Structure 1
């Protein structure tokens, strides 16, 4: 009989210290760091209380006398969807203004997340751009400038951003070439490393000693150590603290933790429910369509503008996924009042899901002729997208699909249905994905 795995008790001294400090400040009416106007006024999104707290925690660490040694590498362990990139954008403004950091190096492990982050931080034309325009701090216009190398003398009012995959960065630093970044460059000025999806950067911690120099982790360590004022701030929702090596690495470095249970409990996340139906694939698809369109209609009644719930149909093989799309489009085109009425009545009598029964009751009270016209319009072929790339990078592995999938919330993006085989991608920030089938 296999032994039951014993879960370690997670003790995080820095998290506990900062939480106790917050409680003491509240009891004593001490005023902690107040989020400045240059952050609030220059971000498109108003920061939520937990995002503010992440900044308050960071500010305390950076004002300690031994910050260069004690707090030069910190990690934000925050749930997927909780707005880590908003915190990252706020950090850039904060570190530039409070500590005169001009140079920021953003690293991650996939090109898709680099492209998404470019839209977040540098592409002013993107609906995902996170800063207000124009960006001003204390009356001065500030420029965010994309660079491959950091200048020897930074210009006043300019924040320099280098966005790269860790693979590209490691190759560039380990094989110096003309106009490429070198370790020598990184010694001359202080720098902030912003490491996203940071759970990928601990291979050295988990590997044997003789493999460390080849790891991405070692590259980041060497960059951080090139100048005593350098900082490395990491972001991840996925941190395996049950792994002894990972726990020892991060136990004193987690500056803020906001897990999924708190995210859901505080009302910021959709609650995830598993709805089970003993149906064939075609009936599952129709159930998903009816539930999705029910959501859209309710949102319309509640005057929620441009609400477009999206469905993701997952398959185990590309051929199966392609067949599923063909079946789906045929089903939608052949919908008629008689068949839909029979389907709704049968499902109403056999389903055990209260959510689905609510949708069936709704549709049976509506004009199904009008509903079918609406369904055929909303779920026509041009409103479905195939992203059947089985690449390990996930469904954002193909950069041709990146724009379509990262703008699903935009009113001019037509897609209601996605067919996919590859895994869901890190860095896929979409708020209106409601159903996975």
Structure 2
């Protein structure tokens, strides 16, 4: 695994070679936790190793990495740090995409709304003595020297390119630019791979190979779009670029599907691995205890209600204030949920 190879490099490298630069730490609103620092250090070491190979004349594919980090461990702060890094390297165009619209809204505020309580950057971003703004855009501009971020879903990104209508994101324009792509909740983008289906075998050279993606698109179609639109057409520029392709794809997920197909796919891409068990051991999240039962549905519901009431009684006995036990009953359909209720 790539992160293990990188960790071994730390033993022989001078610490100064992977120290996180001040233009990153000074422009973040929050200090970095140890595991966030490790993720960034691994990334910086990998960058230096790539640059050495390029300087020796090697032709490398576009940089494609995976950050496997537990939910709540601060993936978005790492993303903010990476945006600052790539801005310093000369990049201005960033695309942030997810699988669902619901995830998109809260992340947008983290990056662009300086009044939001979870805004990730310093109040004033200054790099090389220049004040840098962050702009949300639909189309990238050559005349803008700020950080330009397009927030979208995989469906919309594919459709924007597929339609190529007025104010749409033109593939021909994207392929002329150096772009950094952030794919959040990336395990959703490997749904069919985890089911042992090879999306790559179904690809064609035509961007309209599956037509417009609807909101109700199947996981297999979304992954085909992901493989073709994001990886082949944007990241790899259809393989048409004669110059060094400087595009970057950074994926983030808390859960990598535990299948041989996905493991093989990301063996050389996982730059950071900080899973839930690591998060718990670090003492920075709640310890989760699973209670399993072979009871029938009605009895399981009653069991959950009883355990919930017991917790409430304990909290009352020991004076634990503001204790609000919550139960989530999950069903596949609304009808099943109503029946459970």
Task: Please indicate, yes or no, whether the TM-score normalized by the shorter chain is above 0.5.
Answer: yes
Q: 1:109 aligns with which of 95, 99, 107?
A: 99
Match of 2:85, SS state, is: helix
1:21 and 2:9 are equivalent in the alignment: yes
Offset of 1:290 from its aligned partner? Answer: 4.3
Q: What does residue range 8-407 of structure 1 map to in structure 2 within 5 Å?
A: 12=1, 14-25=2-13, 30-63=15-48, 64-65=50-51, 66=53, 69-70=60-61, 72-97=63-88, 99-151=89-141, 153-156=142-145, 158-202=146-190, 206-207=197-198, 209-213=200-204, 214=210, 215=224, 216-221=226-231, 222-226=233-237, 228-244=245-261, 246-274=262-290, 283-290=306-313, 311-316=325-330
What is the CA–CA distance in structure 1 between the aligned matches of 2:304 and 2:42, rounded to whole Å? 49
Deviation, structure 1 residue 125: 2.3
The alpha carbon displacement at 1:294 in A equals 7.6
SS of 1:199's equivalent? helix
Cα deviation, residue 212, structure 1: 3.1
Superposed CA deviations along residues 343-390 of structure 1, whole A, max 9, x for unmatched, are xxxxxxxxxxxxxxxxxxxxxxxxxxxxxxxxxxxxxxxxxxxxxxxx
Largest Rg, 1 or 2: 1
Q: Deviations over 1:272-322 (max 9, x none)?
A: 134799976654443343456689x66x8xxxxxxx665432225668978
Change (3 A) 1:293 1:69: farther
Inter-CA distance 109–30: structure 2 relative to 1 (3 Å threshold) = closer
Contact 1:104 1:193 survives alignment (8 Å):
yes
- Separation in 2, partners of 1:310, 1:136: 43
In 2 relative to 1, CA 118–46 (structure 1 residues): closer, same or farther, beyond 3 Å? same
User: 1:293, 1:89 → 2: CA distance?
Assistant: 42
Match of 2:296 in 1: none
User: Partner residue of 2:213?
Assistant: none
* Aligned residues of 2:62 and 2:235 also touching (Cα < 8 A): no
> Structure 2: 5+ residue runs without aligned partners?
205-209, 211-223, 294-298
Q: Shift of the alpha carbon at 1:140? A: 2.2
SS, match of residue 97 in structure 2: strand
Q: After the TM superposition, which of the residue ranges 88-97 and 14-23 deviates more from structure 2?
A: 14-23
> Aligned-pair distance for 1:136?
2.2
> In the TM superposition, what is the alpha-carbon distance from 1:38 to its structure 2 partner?
2.2
Change in CA separation of 1:293 and 1:44 when aligned onto 2, cut-off 3 Å: farther
Task: Mark the runs of 5 or more structure 1 residues left unpaired by the alignment.
Answer: 1-11, 301-307, 326-437
Per-residue deviation, 1:208? 5.0
Match of 2:217 in 1: none
In 2 relative to 1, CA 197–280 (structure 1 residues): closer, same or farther, beyond 3 Å?
closer
TM-score by length of 1: 0.61
TM-score after normalising by structure 2: 0.77
